[in-house]
């Protein structure tokens, strides 16, 4: 991608520079300044039982990697939170894209009218906030009115108990002495996260899949390829870039998921967003440590974006 | 499940009623200032009082402030506090710019001590101007180096709750540790300072004294770790636990005594129980802002609030526990039981302040261990 860029020439209209400078200032105020503040705060020091003060200390970063009591003892508590942040976001992004791909593909094969209906429906579902989505799934998975109720009422629970699988579920933490349970669990968290970003995945894939040249597919079909083979050998490779792009975007978006995790993940499997919030606003009022965690999360997200950019360049170079 | 979910850790660790009752307030309303009644004339006496927004503030505006104005002629302007620890940040910023958002504010005990340690935020109160405060249990008066800075406003209990349709009322907290009944079935607050540590300390150790040393804290946290298999929900927002009890996702745990009573009255399967070790009692204090010119009016309000009649009024109308014995008030046994009980477990406030980060990380490590 080294195409020659248009040279910045001196032939601009006067006033253009001023507008550009103004835009730059707005950008700086809205994006750079808050980040700079977070970065500066992250070097601050907390005063136990009071507030915190400005400082130039690395102890918050040290605590993130080895815990508060280091070197007396080492704890990977916050690395573990970072790990779960990545696991949830990664799994949910991949699952959402995996389901969105066939869905979008089939949608683009429909008539214009049906496509419009689906897209409008999906776009409107985007207006549901994380809170509503979580609330919905909370009810769907709850013991009295959700899936466990279905298990109990249909006799599935009794059957599980009679064949002895119920005890296995209890060992896995997926059952109480009385019935099966689905939350809090990794399952509920990933399910809800995938659901949350599914419309985004469709909307991200739609332009690429709908622009796919029908002639290519017809050519493949006339040469004897079955529909599944066409998808595998023609559609998938052509949509490779939008697919990875969509997964990546959703992954980064999901790194910041908060409500889902706070409701559906048990504390042993919660993410950095939760501890950041608790540090800044919780009872310890430790804004510097919260800021340090935020900086690390941001750098991690940036690192993943950069790495994938490298990979796609590499793939392009090979092709 | 409300917008409160976005700010769950604001639960009562430092906040009384950021509960389901404050649904409409959400996380906003930090600066929402609502005047009460007719606009006060310039020469008339007035006072700005902060309280936790939502149901709580509304109850104050409806039941308490009008009685005060009637008795003293001092008009009250109600100021919305999101909770106490966020409010501390607001007051700090205000102090730097030389403004006073509220003359009197409500603080949880730890936030109040924190504020007095930060300095320049809380003005000393004049005990002579509020004789009725003497009648309160002395543990609800907080004296710092600068003098008396906080007088108790009201208190509340975090109590043991169970689903009475599924289990019998336990006689001791220790029964929660039994997996044959409670495996993956309890709802316990996830916050380290939500007093579950105080419960474990009172049940299995020497209570507050055990919490005063690091070894003691580690021992208590290890005891809680043994309960982990029985916890089905580590809740962070009050509404989560409310839903979990209603949906029967959990059959017991800890919750707020007063709200549990309201839920039971609405027909939900929940019973609030005082086991033999008791339940933790927490309280909020009135504190005067440094720089306020209304010290006299503030003293009048604190005196009014400490009056047994006002304490009883708050118990009836807002569901808070009085800060004096039942015998000092005209509350009936039934009314008293709805808001209070015995014995009370006193939280290890000093430990939470002086070893806050240590307790938090020990607790979080326990939670994070698989």
Residue pLDDT, tens place only, B93-134: 888 888 899 999 999 898 899 899 888 899 999 999 999 999
Shared domain for B63 and B29, answered yes or no, is: yes
Does B230 contact A at CB distance below 8 Å? Answer: no
Does B296 contact A at CB distance below 8 Å? Answer: no
Q: What is the pLDDT of residue A14?
A: 64
Shared domain for B144 and B164, answered yes or no, is: no
Q: What is the pLDDT of residue A300?
A: 92
Residues 30 to 49 of A: which have CB under 8 A from any B CB? 46, 48-49
Query: Which candidate from A144, A175, A267 shows the least CB-CB separation from B248?
Result: A144
Does B360 contact A at CB distance below 8 Å? Answer: yes
For the cut 80, the answer to whether the pLDDT of residue B266 exceeds it is yes
A12 located within any domain: no
A86 located within any domain: yes
A168 located within any domain: no
A171 contacts in B (CB within 8 Å)?
none
Interface-testing mutation among B10, B117, B249, with chain A (most A C-beta atoms within 10 A): B249
| CA of A187 vs chain B CAs: smallest distance (Å) | 15
Are A145 and B361 in contact (CB < 8 Å)?
A: no
Q: Domain span at residue B8? A: 3-156+282-339
Task: Name the average pLDDT for chain A.
Answer: 87
Q: What is the pLDDT of residue B370?
A: 62
Q: A60 with A292: CB under 8 angstroms?
A: yes
Interface-testing mutation among A281, A283, A286, A289, with chain B (most B C-beta atoms within 10 A): A283
CATH assignment at residue B138: 3.40.190.10
Does A268 contact B at CB distance below 8 Å? Answer: yes
Please give the tally of structural domains in chain B: 2
A233 located within any domain: yes
Q: What is the pLDDT of residue A178?
A: 87
Shared domain for B271 and B235, answered yes or no, is: yes
**Distance of alpha carbon A84 from alpha carbon A69, whole angstroms:** 22
Shared domain for B77 and B169, answered yes or no, is: no
Shared domain for B125 and B87, answered yes or no, is: yes
Closest of B43, B17, B295, B274 to residue B161, by C-alpha: B274
A7 located within any domain: no
Does B163 contact A at CB distance below 8 Å? Answer: no
Model confidence over B312-350: pLDDT tens digits? Answer: 999 998 889 999 999 999 999 999 988 998 899 999 998
Confidence of residue B17 (pLDDT cuts 50, 70, 90): very low
Shared domain for B46 and B173, answered yes or no, is: no
Model confidence over B128-180: pLDDT tens digits? Answer: 999 999 999 998 999 998 899 999 999 999 999 999 999 999 999 999 999 99
Q: B193 with B351: CB under 8 angstroms?
A: no
Shared domain for B163 and B149, answered yes or no, is: no
For a pLDDT cut of 70, what percent of chain A falls above it?
Answer: 94
Whether the link from the prior residue into B213 is cis, omega within 30° of 0, is no
Are B357 and A286 in contact (CB < 8 Å)?
A: yes
Give the tokens for residue A212.
């796919």
Shared domain for B354 and B208, answered yes or no, is: yes
For the cut 60, the answer to whether the pLDDT of residue B292 exceeds it is yes
A38 located within any domain: no
Shared domain for B302 and B226, answered yes or no, is: no
Whether the link from the prior residue into A71 is cis, omega within 30° of 0, is yes
Interface-testing mutation among B4, B8, B109, with chain A (most A C-beta atoms within 10 A): B8
Q: Under 8 Å CB-to-CB from A160, ≥6 apart: which residues?
A: A151, A166, A169, A180
B365 contacts in A (CB within 8 Å)?
67, 75, 77
A264 located within any domain: yes
Closest of B268, B196, B205, B192 to residue B20, by C-alpha: B268
For a pLDDT cut of 70, what percent of chain B falls above it?
Answer: 88
Question: Measured between alpha carbons, how far is residue B266 from residues A50, B168, B259, B316, B338 in Å?
Answer: 41, 20, 11, 17, 14
Q: What is the pLDDT of residue B106?
A: 93
Q: What is the pLDDT of residue A64?
A: 92
Spell out, as residue ranges, where chain A has pLDDT lower than 50. Answer: 1-10
CATH assignment at residue A193: 1.10.3720.10
Are A183 and B249 in contact (CB < 8 Å)?
A: yes
Shared domain for B245 and B136, answered yes or no, is: no
Q: What is the pLDDT of residue A12?
A: 58
Are A77 and B92 in contact (CB < 8 Å)?
A: no
Please give the tally of structural domains in chain A: 1
Q: What is the DSSP string of chain A?
A: --PPPPP--S-PPTTHHHHHHHHHHHHIIIIIHHHHHHHHHTT-EE-TTS-EE-----HHHHHHHH-TTTTTS---HHHHHHHHHHHHHHHHHHHHHHHHHHHHHHHHTS-HHHHHHHHHHHHHHTTS-HHHHHHHHHHHT-TTTSHHHHHHHTTHHHHHHHHTHHHHHHHTTSB-SSSB---SSHHHHHHHHHHHHHHHHHHHHHHHHHTS-HHHHHHHHHTT--HHHHIIIIIHHHTHHHHHHHHHHHHHHHTT--HHHHHHS-GGG--HHHHHHHHHHSTT--HHHHHHHHHHHHHHHHHHHHHHHHHHHHHHHH-
A146 located within any domain: no
B14 contacts in A (CB within 8 Å)?
283
């Amino acid at each position: 991608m080294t195409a020659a860029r248009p040279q910045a020439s001196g032939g601009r209209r006067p006033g253009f520079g001023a507008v550009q400078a103004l835009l730059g200032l707005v950008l700086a105020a809205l994006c750079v300044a808050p980040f700079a503040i977070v970065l500066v705060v992250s070097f601050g020091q907390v005063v136990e039982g009071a507030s915190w003060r400005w400082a130039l200390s690395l102890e918050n970063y040290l605590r993130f990697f080895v815990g508060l009591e280091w070197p007396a003892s080492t704890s990977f508590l916050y690395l573990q939170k970072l790990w779960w942040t990545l696991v949830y976001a990664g799994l949910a992004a991949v699952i959402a894209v995996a389901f969105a791909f066939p869905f979008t593909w089939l949608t683009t094969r429909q008539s214009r009218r049906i496509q419009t209906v689906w897209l409008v429906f999906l776009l409107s579902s985007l207006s549901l906030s994380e809170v509503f989505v979580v609330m919905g799934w909370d009810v769907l998975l709850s013991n009295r009115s959700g899936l466990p109720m279905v298990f109990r009422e249909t006799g599935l629970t009794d059957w599980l108990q009679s064949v002895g699988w119920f005890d296995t579920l209890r060992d896995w933490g997926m059952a109480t002495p009385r019935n099966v349970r689905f939350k809090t669990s990794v399952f509920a968290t990933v399910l809800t996260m995938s659901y949350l970003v599914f419309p985004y995945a469709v909307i991200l894939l739609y332009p690429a899949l709908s622009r796919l040249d029908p002639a290519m597919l017809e050519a493949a079909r006339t040469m004897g390829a079955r529909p599944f083979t066409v998808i595998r050998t023609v559609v998938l490779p052509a949509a490779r870039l939008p697919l990875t792009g969509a997964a990546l975007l959703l992954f980064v978006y999901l790194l910041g998921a908060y409500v889902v995790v706070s409701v559906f993940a048990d504390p042993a499997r919660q993410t950095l967003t939760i501890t950041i919030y608790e540090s800044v606003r919780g009872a310890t009022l430790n804004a510097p440590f919260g800021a340090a965690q935020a900086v690390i999360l941001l750098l991690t997200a940036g690192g993943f974006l950069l790495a994938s950019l490298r990979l796609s360049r590499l793939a392009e170079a090979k092709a | 499940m409300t917008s409160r979910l976005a700010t769950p850790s604001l639960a009562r660790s430092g906040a009384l009623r950021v509960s389901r009752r404050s649904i409409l307030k959400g996380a906003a309303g930090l600066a929402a200032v609502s005047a009460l009644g007719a606009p006060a004339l310039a020469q008339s006496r007035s006072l700005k009082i902060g309280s936790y927004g939502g149901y709580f503030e509304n109850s104050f505006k409806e039941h308490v402030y009008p009685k005060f104005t009637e008795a003293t002629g001092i008009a009250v302007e109600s100021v919305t506090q999101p909770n106490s620890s966020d409010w501390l940040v607001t007051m700090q910023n205000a102090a730097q710019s030389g403004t006073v958002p509220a003359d009197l504010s409500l603080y949880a005990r730890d936030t109040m001590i924190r504020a007095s340690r930060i300095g320049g935020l809380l003005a000393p109160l004049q005990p002579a101007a509020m004789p009725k405060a003497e009648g309160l249990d002395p543990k609800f008066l907080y004296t710092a180096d600068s003098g008396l800075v906080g007088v108790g406003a009201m208190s509340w209990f975090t109590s043991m709750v169970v689903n009475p349709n599924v289990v019998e009322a336990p006689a001791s907290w220790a029964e929660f540790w039994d997996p044959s009944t409670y495996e993956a079935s309890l709802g316990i607050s996830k916050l380290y300072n939500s007093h579950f540590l105080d419960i474990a300390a009172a049940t299995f150790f020497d209570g507050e004294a055990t919490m005063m040393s690091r070894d003691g804290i580690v021992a208590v946290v290890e005891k809680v770790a043994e309960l982990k298999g029985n916890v089905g929900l580590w809740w962070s927002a009050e509404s989560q636990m409310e839903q979990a009890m209603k949906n029967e996702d959990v059959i017991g745990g800890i919750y707020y005594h007063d709200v549990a009573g309201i839920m039971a009255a609405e027909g939900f399967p929940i019973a609030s129980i005082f086991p033999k070790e008791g339940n933790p009692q927490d309280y909020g204090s009135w504190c005067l802002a440094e720089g306020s010119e209304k010290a006299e009016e503030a003293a009048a309000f604190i005196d009014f609030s400490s009056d047994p009649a006002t304490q009883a009024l708050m118990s009836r109308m807002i569901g808070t526990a009085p800060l004096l014995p039942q015998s000092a008030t005209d509350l009936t046994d039934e009314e008293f039981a709805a808001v209070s009980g015995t014995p009370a477990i006193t939280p290890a406030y000093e430990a939470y302040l002086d070893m806050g980060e240590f307790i938090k990380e020990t607790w979080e490590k326990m939670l994070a261990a698989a």
